């Protein structure tokens, strides 16, 4: 009888308090990833450029390996350089700003959902967003899209608050949000919230609200935030820099004015988001169907309710899919809108489809257990790590307890599945990524050079590249593109180089008496394949790099 009462009390425990436990586990997974080495190529480049910005005290002009840089807006570099200044150069200092912008995105999503739905639904949306795979990936392999996402959601939340409450300070904060978004990824920081909010205005026929003159108050706030960036662009590139930021970088990828393009199919971002929003994709699909069906039945005159999330998801998906250059992380920005849609659907299904929701809860419980089993198989197969199985076992127990002690079907879905995906990523960040990134051979080579006390300005890359060179070495990327470049420096001093098989073969051919200090296995961390993960076939795809010490002299045929 006592056990029955205990179970009843635990099931009656408020969902928000149970959600905090999953949120803490999620935060632990993020923090575990914050101490892991930086991944090539994008994140390492951002880290290297931010270090250069700090050390050269060049805050308005961007440089990439000493060359003026015209691609990404400066916010990620400003935030990272400031973090380096406050905390020193480290993996954690580089990833901390992304974690903070993640929290801003989740908080803004929670507050936005809270304006239209019950508190428990807002918590559900926030927890779904925090535990979707895209968020774990962006906090491990830092992208500008996390900064952009924070600006978009802050803008949408503050504009919504202004529409409902009429407070001027909400409008000013909306300008701050637009500024953050545009300083992260250009005009998309304005277009994205405009699409989400504009769809809601149009669907609800709120023409008076749409053409409110008070929106003009946002302009000076945005202008003030963009001014330092525009000043730097003008100093470095003149009119071309301003034109690139406001047109070519974003709209040019649709019109063809931009040189960036790839062969991604029109639905590339659709099926990309299907895995990026896991494990909640299975809730998003019926949510989209029901939302569209409701609009259709009401002949697109729904009256009450919010359609910001639907507009933000659909219109952004279409707009980004029109780009001639697509990468997987581009579509991650729609995740907050997907989370609100999915949370709303769960709330409605509790009353309209309780039996279906219970069946789905059991199905997702099975998926949660499979996620944990998959993490065990991945580590046991690819990188055997016995200690990880204690964590996986503990996560499995928490998933089962979360299902047992949950109250309604919503809790039985969100809590166990959220626990499973957070545990899965905690395992990855603690055990999988550190072993995977050992194959970025530049990093251990740099650390070996530092350990030996060799002069870094005499350490060269020979047919090997990567931005980890500058970030971890704190030195300019000294590249030897060919044998003739090697010949120029050999008579001057002893030097060390990191060479691949091709570079080593050139030295052998020219009878250079080098010393092999270390030999490394090398493989790009972002190009994981089954052959790489399989220890029996890994040697077929892994390349060798060599840390060589070359004495001063005249060598060659």
pLDDT in tens, the chain (557 residues): 445 554 555 566 667 777 888 899 999 999 999 999 998 888 999 999 999 999 988 899 889 888 888 888 999 999 999 999 999 999 999 999 999 999 999 999 999 999 999 999 999 999 999 999 999 999 998 999 999 999 999 999 999 999 988 898 999 999 999 999 999 988 989 999 999 999 888 888 878 888 888 888 899 999 999 999 999 888 888 888 888 888 777 665 555 445 555 556 677 888 888 989 989 999 999 999 888 887 777 766 666 678 899 999 999 988 888 877 777 778 889 999 999 999 999 988 888 888 888 888 888 888 888 888 888 888 888 888 888 888 888 888 877 777 777 778 888 888 889 989 999 999 999 999 998 988 988 888 888 888 888 887 888 888 887 888 888 887 777 788 888 888 888 888 888 889 988 988 888 888 888 889 999 999 888 788 888 888 888 888 899 999 999 888 766 55
In this structure, is residue 283 part of a structural domain?
yes
pLDDT value for 2:
46
Structure tokens at 495: 């030097």
Question: How many CB atoms are closer than 10 A to CB 555?
Answer: 17
The answer to whether residues 254 and 322 touch, using CB atoms and an 8 Å cutoff, is yes
Residues 362 and 418 in one domain: yes
Question: Do residue 266 and residue 358 come from a single domain?
Answer: no
Report whether 187 contacts 255 (CB < 8 A).
no
For residue range 209-244, list pLDDT tens digits in order. 888 888 888 999 999 999 999 998 888 888 888 888
How confident is the model at residue 1, as a pLDDT? Answer: 45
Strand partners, 520: 545
379 and 426 co-located in one domain: yes
Q: What is the pLDDT of residues 325-369, one digit of tens each?
A: 777 778 889 999 999 999 999 988 888 888 888 888 888 888 888
The answer as to whether 556 is a domain residue is no
Which of 335, 352, 369 delimits the end of a domain? 352
Assign 3-state DSSP to the chain and report helix, strand, coil percentages, each to 5: 70, 5, 25
Same domain, 207 and 323: yes
Q: Pairing relation of β-strands 495-500 and 459-462?
A: parallel
Domain identity same for 491 and 405: no
Strand extents, DSSP E, 237-361: none
Q: Which residues contact 411 (CB under 8 A, 6 or more apart)?
A: 15, 18, 402
Q: Report pLDDT for 134.
A: 92
Closest CA to 45 of 144, 139, 118: 144
226 lies in the same domain as 135: yes
User: Residue 461 in contact with residue 469, Cβ under 8 Å?
Assistant: yes
Query: Angle at which helices 335-352 and 119-131 pack, to 10 degrees?
Result: 130
For the record, the structure tokens of 311 come out as 């507009």
Residue with token string 């805050």: 59
Q: Are residues 413 and 464 in the same domain?
A: no
381 shares a domain with 246: no
Find the length of the chain: 557
Cα gap 155→132, rounded to integer Å: 22
State which residues form the domain around 230. Answer: 35-352
Q: Is residue 557 part of a domain?
A: no
- Do 98 and 175 have their domain in common? yes
Predicted confidence at residue 371, as pLDDT, reads 87
Phi, psi of 543 (to 5 degrees): -100, 165
**Own/partner pairs for 346-352, CB < 8 Å, 24+ apart?**
346/121, 346/124, 346/283, 346/410, 346/413, 346/414, 347/117, 347/118, 347/120, 347/121, 347/124, 347/410, 348/290, 349/286, 349/409, 350/408, 350/409, 350/410
Encoded tokens for 109? 């999503």
Residues 291 and 547: their CA atoms lie apart, in Å, by 59
Q: Would you say residue 532 lies in a domain?
A: yes
Cβ partners under 8 Å of residue 469, min gap 6: 48, 442, 446, 461, 475, 477
> Do 309 and 344 contact (CB within 8 A), yes or no?
yes
**The domain boundary residue, chosen from 288, 320, 352:** 352
- One domain, residues 390 and 446: no
- DSSP E strands in 429-535: the ranges are 459-462, 479-480, 495-500, 515-522
Contact predicate 532/541, CB 8 Å: yes
CA nearest 100: which of 113, 114, 87?
Answer: 87
**What is the count of structural domains for the chain?**
3
The last residue of one of the domains, among 300, 331, 352, is: 352
Contact 406, 417 (CB under 8 A): no
| Residues 445 and 521 occupy one common structural domain | yes
Residue 182 placed within a domain: yes
* Nearest Cα to Cα of residue 293 among 362, 364, 352: 352
- Nearest 5°: phi and psi at 206? -90, 70
Q: What is the CATH number of the domain that holds 488?
A: 3.40.190
Nearest to 113 by CA among 56, 184, 161, 163: 161
CA angle 379, 384, 388 (to 5 degrees): 65
Is residue 536 in a domain? Answer: yes
Closest Cα partner for 47 from 474, 450, 445?
474
Nearest by Cα to 242 from 253, 226, 256: 226
* Pair of tokens at residue 394: 């503990």
* Dihedral over Cα of 81, 82, 86, 92: its sign: negative
User: What per-residue confidence (pLDDT) applies to 229?
Assistant: 92
Does one domain contain both 343 and 358?
Answer: no
Give the helix/strand (H/E) hosting 339: helix 335-352
């Amino acid at each position: 009888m006592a056990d029955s009462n205990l179970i009843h009390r635990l099931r009656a425990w408020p969902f928000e308090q149970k959600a905090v436990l999953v949120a803490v586990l999620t935060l632990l997974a993020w923090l575990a990833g914050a101490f892991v080495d930086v991944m090539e190529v994008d994140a390492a480049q951002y880290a290297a450029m931010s270090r250069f910005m700090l050390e050269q005290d060049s805050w308005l002009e961007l440089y990439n390996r000493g060359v003026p840089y015209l691609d990404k807006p400066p916010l990620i570099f400003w935030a990272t350089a400031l973090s380096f200044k406050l905390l020193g150069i480290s993996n954690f200092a580089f990833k901390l700003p992304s974690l903070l912008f993640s929290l801003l995105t989740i908080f803004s999503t929670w507050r936005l959902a809270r304006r239209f739905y019950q508190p428990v639904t807002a918590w559900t949306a926030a927890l779904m967003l925090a535990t979707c795979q895209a968020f774990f990936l962006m906090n491990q392999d830092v992208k500008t899209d996390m900064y952009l996402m924070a600006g978009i959601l802050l803008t949408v939340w503050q504009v919504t608050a202004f529409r409902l409450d009429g407070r001027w300070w909400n409008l000013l904060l909306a300008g701050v949000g637009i500024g953050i978004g545009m300083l992260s990824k250009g005009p998309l920081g304005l277009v994205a919230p405009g699409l989400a909010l504009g769809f809601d205005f149009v669907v609800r026929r709120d023409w008076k609200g749409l053409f409110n003159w008070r929106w003009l108050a946002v302009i000076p706030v945005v202008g003030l935030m963009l001014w330092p960036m525009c000043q730097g662009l003008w100093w470095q590139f003149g009119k071309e820099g301003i034109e690139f930021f406001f047109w070519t970088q974003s709209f040019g990828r649709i019109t063809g004015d931009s040189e960036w393009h790839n062969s991604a199919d029109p639905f590339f971002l659709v099926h990309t988001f299907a895995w990026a929003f896991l494990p909640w994709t299975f809730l998003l699909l019926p949510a989209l169907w029901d939302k569209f069906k409701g609009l259709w039945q009401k002949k697109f005159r729904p009256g009450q309710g919010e359609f910001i999330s639907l507009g933000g998801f659909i219109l952004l998906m279409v707009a980004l899919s029109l780009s001639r250059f697509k990468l997987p992380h581009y579509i991650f920005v729609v995740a907050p809108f997907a989370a609100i849609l999915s949370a709303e659907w769960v709330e409605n299904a509790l009353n309209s489809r309780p039996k279906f929701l219970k069946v789905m809860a059991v199905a997702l419980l099975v998926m949660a257990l499979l996620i944990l089993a998959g993490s065990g198989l991945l580590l046991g197969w690819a990188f055997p790590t016995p200690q990880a199985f204690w964590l996986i076992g503990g996560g499995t127990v928490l998933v089962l307890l979360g299902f047992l002690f949950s109250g309604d079907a919503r809790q039985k879905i969100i809590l166990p599945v959220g626990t499973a995906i957070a545990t899965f990523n905690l395992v990855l960040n603690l055990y999988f990524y550190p072993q995977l990134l050992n194959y970025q051979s530049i990093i251990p080579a740099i650390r070996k050079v530092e350990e030996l006390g060799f002069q870094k300005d005499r350490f060269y890359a020979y047919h090997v590249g990567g931005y980890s060179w500058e970030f971890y070495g704190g030195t300019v990327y000294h590249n030897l593109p060919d044998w003739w470049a090697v010949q120029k420096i050999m008579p001057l001093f002893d030097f060390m180089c990191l060479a691949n098989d091709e570079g080593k073969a050139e030295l052998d051919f020219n009878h250079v008496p080098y010393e092999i200090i270390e030999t490394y296995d090398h493989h790009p961390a972002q190009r994981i394949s089954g052959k790489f993960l399989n220890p029996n076939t890994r040697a077929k795809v892994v390349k060798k790099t060599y840390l060589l010490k070359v004495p001063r002299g005249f060598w060659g045929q």
